[in-house]
Structure 1
Amino acid sequence: MSREVLLVKLALCQGMGIEKKWRLLQYAQHYQRSDLSFQEILQVLGYNRFSETLRQNWQSLTPDEINQRMLGQKYLSYDSPLYPTNLKEIAYPPLVLFYEGRKELLQKRLVAFVGARDATAYGKRVIDFLVPEVVRANYVVVSGLAKGIDSCAHEAAMVCGGYTIGVLGTGVDLCYPSQSRPIYQKMKKEHLLISEYPRGTTPQKHHFPMRNRIIAGLSQGLCVIEAKSRSGSLITAQQALEDGREVFAVPGDVLTGHSAGCHDLIQDGAKCVHSPEDILSELPQF
C-alpha cells in the first residue's frame, strides 16, 4: 500500500477524528510504513476501548475496496501538487479534498464571506456592495453554501462574472440545504465544490465546525456579516485568527442583535469594514 492509498484510506475511515488520523499518518511516515494493522492503530492511539465502527471500517478498507469506493470520485490528496498551500498551514488539514468543478480555482487568491443564515435585507445589500469589488480585484469568493449570507456571497460572485468556491459539510454529491440547489448545480458545473467527506456522506452536526476550519484555512481573509453573539461564523473567525488570516467584520444595527457577534469581533481587533477597500487594502498583492 502506497502513502497515497493510506491517505485515502484514512480519509474514508469512519470512527476517528482528523487529529487521530494525522497521528497515524505521522507514525506511518516516521517508520516508513503504509499498511497499518488494526492492532497497531490501537497501540499508536492508546485505545483501550474503541468503537466497532472503527474496527469494521479499517479492516474492510482493503486496496480493492478503496479502489471501488473511489471510482468516479474526483479528489486531491494532501500530497497532490494542486493541494492548496494555504490549507497546509492549518493544524490538521484534510487528508483528501473531494471536489466537483474547477479545481484550478484553489490556486487563486481567495477571500471568504460568512454570516447569518437568517440574513436580513441589510446583510444582502452589504454582500452586493462588497463582493463585486473583491471579484474585480481578481479574488475568488469562498463560503459554505448555507442559506443566508453564504448563498448570497456565492450568488453575488457569479452574477458579477467572478468565481466562487463552496465548502460543504456533506459529500459533494449532496446539496444541503435543499434551498441552495440552484446555486449548487451551477457551482458544480462552472465553479467549485469541495469537501473532506466522500460521496454519500450526509449532513451531521459535527461536520460543520470542521467545514468552517477549511473555509478559514483556504482564504487569505475572512469577512463576517450579520453574526449574532452565538454564531458558527464566530467559530470560523476564531479559526481564521488562529491561522494568521485577516479577519474583517461589518457593523450593523445595535438594537436588533443581528450583528452583535460582528461588534464583538471589532472590539477584539477585527477590522471594521464600511467599504470594499477596507478588505482589499489589508490583503496581499493589492
Structure 2
Amino acid sequence: MNNLKEILSFHYVYPLPLNKFRILMKSIETTRNLIETSPTELAKILSISTNRASDILSNYRQVLKINLLDVYNSSSVKAIPFNSDFYPDSLHDLLDPPTVLYAKGDISILNHPKKIAIIGSRKATNYSSLALEYIVPPLVEQDIVIVSGLAKGADSLAHRATIQFGGKTIAVLGHGFSHIYPPENKKLACEIEGNHLLLTEYPPYVGVQKWHFPMRNRIISGISNAIVVTEASLKSGTLITTEHALEHGKDIFVVPGPIQKEQSKGTNSLLREGAIPIWNGYQILEELKLF
C-alpha cells in the first residue's frame, strides 16, 4: 500500500507522471521500499544516471522528514494524488496522467460532470471577446464549468467572461503555485483561487518552463468533455490541445474567422479537418445533448 506522505515527498523531489511512477512501483512494490532502494536500482528502473538517482534518493530522505501536507495546508494548497476521490477519472485515459495534482480554491469543482475548455490564441483579438459573449452565457446557464489555461489572450478572456456571467472556471497552470505566469494575470489568478479553482501537476516550487505548457494542455483536454477554439494561428499551441482532445474522441467546436486574418488560419484549418463550426453556446449544447 502506497503512503500519501511518501508519494508527495517523492513527487516533490522528482515529479514523475503516473505511467512512470507505476513502472517504479511495479519494481519496488510500495513507496515504503523507496527508502531502501539503491541508486543503482533506481537508475535502472527509471533509465537515468546513477548520480541522478543518488541525488533523488538523498533529497527524498530529506523531504520525508518534513510534513508536506502541513506545509501545503498552510499555503492553502490541496494535494490530490492519483488515488484520491477528487482526482478526475478522465485523466486516467491519458498516456501520461499526472501522479499528483495540486489545487487552490474549490476542489469540488473537479467532480463537476460537465466541463468545456475554451482556448485560443495568446494574441486573441476583440473577435474572441465578441464570440465569448455569445458562447459563454448559454453554457453557464446549464451549469457547465469553463476550463482554460490562464494564458494571455483567449484563455484570460474565457476565464473573465465566465466570471462575468456568473459561472465557475478552472485555470490549469504550467508551473507551481509559487509562480504565476503571465505576471499580469496575478489578480485574475487570485480571483479564481478565491471563488473557483487553480490546478497544476507541478509542486509549488516548480518555475515556468516553455515545455510545461504543451504538457499542461493535455490536462485541459483531459478534464473537459469538449473543446471550443475561438482564434488560433496555424502554428498555435492551441492545436496541441485539440490534438489531445481528438485522440480521446472529444468534440472540437470552432468559431469560424475572417479568411484574411492570421488568427483565423488555425481555426479555419480545423474546420476543414472536420471540427464543428459554432457561433453561439446553444449550438454546443445541442451537439452535446445536454439540454
TM-score in same-fold range (> 0.5): yes
User: Which stretches of structure 1, 4 residues or more, deviate above 6 A after TM superposition?
Assistant: none
1:25 aligned residue: 22
Residue 255 of structure 1 aligns with an amino acid whose one-letter code is: Q
Q: Deviations over 1:202-222 (max 9, x none)?
A: 110111011111000000001
Q: Give the whole-Å Cα distance in 2 for the aligned partners of 1:66 and 1:195.
A: 24
Residue 274 (structure 1) shift:
2.0
Q: Compute the RMSD of aligned alpha carbons.
A: 2.1
Residue 31 (structure 1) shift:
5.7
2:222 aligned residue: 217
2:78 aligned residue: 74
1:51 to 1:271, Cα distance in 2 relative to 1, 3 A? farther
Residue 164 of structure 2 aligns with an amino acid whose one-letter code is: V
Q: Give the whole-Å Cα distance in 2 for the aligned partners of 1:127 and 1:225.
A: 8
1:86 to 1:63, Cα distance in 2 relative to 1, 3 A? farther
Say whether the 8 Å CA contact 2:146–2:170 is kept in structure 1. Answer: yes
2:244 aligned residue: 239
Are residue 120 (structure 1) and residue 125 (structure 2) matched?
Answer: yes
Residue 68 (structure 1) shift:
4.0
2:13 aligned residue: 13
Residue 232 (structure 1) shift:
0.5
Are residue 85 (structure 1) and residue 100 (structure 2) matched?
Answer: no
Q: Deviations over 1:128-166 (max 9, x none)?
A: 210111111110000000111101100111111111000
Residue 172 (structure 1) shift:
2.4
TM-score for the superposition, normalised by structure 2: 0.89
Are residue 254 (structure 1) and residue 259 (structure 2) matched?
Answer: yes
1:10 to 1:123, Cα distance in 2 relative to 1, 3 A? same
Secondary structure at the counterpart of residue 99 of structure 1: strand
Q: Deviations over 1:103-152 (max 9, x none)?
A: 00001111000001111111111112101111111100000001111011
Identity of aligned residues (%): 33
1:28 to 1:153, Cα distance in 2 relative to 1, 3 A? same
Residue 58 (structure 1) shift:
3.3
Alignment of 1:43-192 (within 5 A): 43-47=44-48, 49=49, 52=52, 55-62=54-61, 65=64, 67-70=66-69, 71-72=71-72, 73-108=77-112, 109-192=114-197
Residue 44 of structure 1 aligns with an amino acid whose one-letter code is: I
Secondary structure at the counterpart of residue 136 of structure 2: helix
Secondary structure at the counterpart of residue 44 of structure 2: helix
Task: Kindly tell me the number of residue pairs found equivalent between the two proteins.
Answer: 281
Secondary structure at the counterpart of residue 75 of structure 1: strand
1:115 to 1:51, Cα distance in 2 relative to 1, 3 A? farther
Q: Deviations over 1:183-206 (max 9, x none)?
A: 111111111001001112211011
TM-score for the superposition, normalised by structure 1: 0.90
Say whether the 8 Å CA contact 1:127–1:149 is kept in structure 2. Answer: no
Larger deviation, residues 171-180 vs 120-129: 171-180
Say whether the 8 Å CA contact 1:11–1:196 is kept in structure 2. Answer: no
